[in-house]
Structure 1
């Protein structure tokens, strides 16, 4: 198992302890779909890749599937990005929806408080 696989396995085990088994599938999707956007969100790339935008679309669909999903996805993104350097840039986060021709159905922030995220419809 590679370094990324060990990290995912460790975070998955940690999430099961934190929030129960229902949380695990959402973070697996987030670990697969969100990382392609990090190069743009941290300022390494000047625009999001096509893969990033396609994956944001997939995460949007997941967020809309069940009313608690936006909060769960927020928690997953928070776990992925917490303490990572470089950190996400707020202007890049704001630009992501328009550059990907979408709107976000779940929050992304450089300093998230997922406990305040309202459940979707």
Structure 2
């Protein structure tokens, strides 16, 4: 297990993570630090606990919005796939009908 130091609101914190996940964890900490600093600018210094809570709530709100957008997109993808399937079925039926007509015409001429 790797140990790294991340900085949030100007203070270092030692954090453990799986080997190879250090860079990802540092990026996550930067995102959280940005939220905490934004809350501090918007609301003034509230103390680390409240700043962290507000930062976490803002990130949770963003996550909730992203999940909602993802669900809407997944619904749209499913609808488009169903539409595509119906169009493909109609195309196959049209091609099958055209092939039968061609075969009929060819047999009549022979």
TM-score (norm 2): 0.29
Greater share of helix residues, 1 or 2? 2
TM-score (norm 1): 0.27
* Greater length-normalized contact order (CA 8 Å, ≥ 6 residues apart): 1
Greater share of strand residues, 1 or 2? 2
